[in-house]
Structure 1
Amino acid sequence: MEDNDFMDQSLVKMNGGYGLEFHLMLILVELYKTFTNN
């Protein structure tokens, strides 16, 4: 848990705070594609 939180904070800082939202958007798009293909 602690390691994951540390990684998330580091990624957000590296990406200027937009990294997390961007990755979440990509995940939602991938999930949408998988559901629509099935």
Structure 2
Amino acid sequence: MGTIVCQTCEATIAYFEDEKVTTLYGQCDGCGHDDDGEKGE
């Protein structure tokens, strides 16, 4: 079983099927960090 964890607040986002125990990091909807800033238009 694998787990997807928010890299900012460490909340569990989701679980997925896997042969090994795996932890992946992503970003949850509750963490509204704007990484875009003034990059692009």
TM-score, normalised to structure 1's length? 0.23
More helix by percentage: 1
**The structure with more strand, counted as a fraction of residues:** 2
Q: With CA pairs under 8 Å and 6+ residues apart, which has the higher RCO, 1 or 2?
A: 2
